Amino acid sequence: MSQYVLRRLLIAIPSLLGISLVLFVVLALAPGDPFSELATNPNVPPEVAAALRARFGLDDPIYLRYLHWLSAMAHGDWGFSFVSRMNVDTLILQRLPATLYVIGSAQLLALLIAIPVGVYAATKPYSLFDQIANTLAFVGFSLPTFFTGILFILIFSVTLDWLPFVYTTDVKGTGIRWVLEMIRQAIMPVAVLGLFQAASMTRFVRSAMLDVIRLDYVTTARAKGLGQAKVIVKHVMRNAMIPVVTLIALQMPAVFGGAIVTEQIFRIPGIGSLLISSILSNDTPVVMAVTFVFACLVVLFNLIADVLYGWLDPRISLR
Amino acid sequence: MLDKELRSMIGDVKGGRMDRRAFIQRLAAVGLTAPLANQILALGGVAMAEGASPYKPTKRGGGGALKLLWWQGPTLLNPHFATGTKDQDGSRLFYEPLACWDPDGNMKLVLATEIPSTQNGLLAADGKSVTWKLKPGVKWHDGKPFTADDVVFTWEYIIDPATAAVTVATYRDITVEKVDDLTIRLNFKKPTPFWADAFVGATGQILPKHLFAEFKGSKSREAPTNLAPVGTGPYKFVEFKPGDLIRGVINPDYHMANRPHFDTIEMKGGGDAVSAARAVIQTGEYDFGWNIQVEDDVLLRLEKGGKGKTIYAVGGDTEFIALNFTDPNTEVDGERSSMKTKHPLFSDPAVRKALSFLVDRESIKKAIYGRAGRTTANFLNGPEKFVSKNTSWEFSIEKASKILDDAGWKPGADGIREKDGKKLKLLYQTSINGPRQKTQAIVKQACQKAGIDVELKSVVASVFFSSDVANPDTYAKFYADIEMFQIPMSQPDPAQHMRRYHSSNVATKENKWQGTNFPRWVNRDYDAAIDAADGEMDPVKRTALYIKANDLLFNDTVFIPAQHRLKVEAAANTLRPVISGWANETDNLFDWYREE
For range A296-300, the mean pLDDT: 85
A243 interfacial to chain B (CB closer than 8 Å): no
Give burial (CB, 10 Å; 0-12/13-18/19+) of A237: buried
CB B341 within 8 A of CB B330: yes
On chain A, the residues whose CB falls within 8 A of the CB of B170 are: 43
Listed in sequence order, the residues at least 6 apart from B290 whose beta carbon sits closer than 8 Å to its beta carbon are B68, B69, B70, B71, B86, B89, B276, B569, B585
Q: What is the pLDDT of residues A237-261, one digit of tens each?
A: 888 888 888 888 877 877 776 678 8
Taking an 8 Å cut-off on Cβ atoms, the answer to whether A42 and B487 are in contact is yes
The letter for the amino acid at A118 is G
pLDDT number for residue B43? 54
Q: What is the pLDDT of residues A20-54, one digit of tens each?
A: 999 989 888 876 677 766 665 656 777 787 788 78
Taking an 8 Å cut-off on Cβ atoms, the answer to whether B241 and A274 are in contact is no
Among A29, A43, A53, the strongest candidate for a mutation testing the B interface, having the largest count of B CBs within 10 A, is A43
Phi-psi map region of B271: left, alpha, beta (phi>0 left; psi -120 to 50 alpha):
left
ipTM: 0.82
Q: Looking at CA atoms only, how far is residue B84 from chain A in angstroms? A: 6
Listed in sequence order, the residues at least 6 apart from B272 whose beta carbon sits closer than 8 Å to its beta carbon are A264, B71
Among B163, B244, B290, B485, the strongest candidate for a mutation testing the A interface, having the largest count of A CBs within 10 A, is B244
B25 vs B582: which has the higher pLDDT: B582
Q: What is the pLDDT of residues B453-479, one digit of tens each?
A: 999 999 987 778 776 777 889 899 999
Taking an 8 Å cut-off on Cβ atoms, the answer to whether B169 and A168 are in contact is no
Q: With bands split at pLDDT 50, 70 and 90, how would you rate the model's confidence at B209?
A: very high
pLDDT number for residue B364? 94
Q: CB pairs below 8 Å between A and B: how many?
A: 163
Q: With bands split at pLDDT 50, 70 and 90, how would you rate the model's confidence at A319?
A: low
B142 vs A299: which has the higher pLDDT: B142
CB A204 within 8 A of CB A118: yes
State which H helix or E strand residue B239 sits in. Answer: strand B235-241
β-bridge pairing B453-459 and B482-486: unpaired
A193-202, B438-447, B525-534: range with lowest mean pLDDT = A193-202
Query: What distances in angstroms separate CA B533 from CA B39, B360, B379, B522, one per listed residue?
Result: 15, 33, 17, 18
On chain A, the residues whose CB falls within 8 A of the CB of B242 are: 81, 83-84, 86, 91, 94
Q: Is the pLDDT of residue B46 over 70?
A: no
pLDDT number for residue B30? 55
For range B561-565, the mean pLDDT: 94
Locate the chain B residue with the closest alpha carbon to A94. Answer: B241
Q: With bands split at pLDDT 50, 70 and 90, how would you rate the model's confidence at B514?
A: confident
pLDDT number for residue B32? 54
Taking an 8 Å cut-off on Cβ atoms, the answer to whether A158 and B242 are in contact is no
Distance of alpha carbon B529 from alpha carbon B499, whole angstroms: 10
β-bridge pairing B559-572 and B174-180: unpaired
B37 vs B372: which has the higher pLDDT: B372
SS3 B408: coil
Tell me, rounded to whole angstroms, the distance of Cα A35 from its chain centroid. 30
Tell me, rounded to whole angstroms, the distance of Cα A90 from its chain centroid. 20
For range B434-460, the mean pLDDT: 93
pLDDT number for residue B310? 94
β-bridge pairing B559-572 and B373-374: antiparallel
In chain B, how long is the greatest CA-to-CA distance?
79
Q: How far apart are the first and last CA of chain B?
A: 50
Percent of chain A with pLDDT over 70: 95
Which positions 22-81 of A are in contact with B (Cβ < 8 Å)? 31-52, 55, 80-81
A125-129, A191-195, A280-284: range with lowest mean pLDDT = A280-284
Total residue length of chain A: 319
Distance of alpha carbon A278 from alpha carbon A287, whole angstroms: 6
For range B114-142, the mean pLDDT: 91
Q: Is the pLDDT of residue B105 over 80?
A: no
B306 vs B159: which has the higher pLDDT: B159
Q: What share of chain B is helix, strand, coil (3-state, %, to 5)?
A: 30, 20, 45
The letter for the amino acid at A171 is V
pLDDT number for residue B33? 45
Q: Is the pLDDT of residue B344 over 60?
A: yes
Q: Looking at CA atoms only, how far is residue A17 from chain B in angstroms? A: 27
Locate the chain B residue with the closest alpha carbon to A278. Answer: B243
* E strand segments, B277-323: 288-289, 308-323
Percent of chain B with pLDDT over 70: 93
In chain A, how long is the greatest CA-to-CA distance?
84
For range A156-163, the mean pLDDT: 86
pLDDT number for residue B39? 55
Please provide the average confidence, as pLDDT, over all residues in chain B: 88
Taking an 8 Å cut-off on Cβ atoms, the answer to whether A158 and B462 are in contact is no
Closest CA to A209 of A230, A233, A228, A226: A233
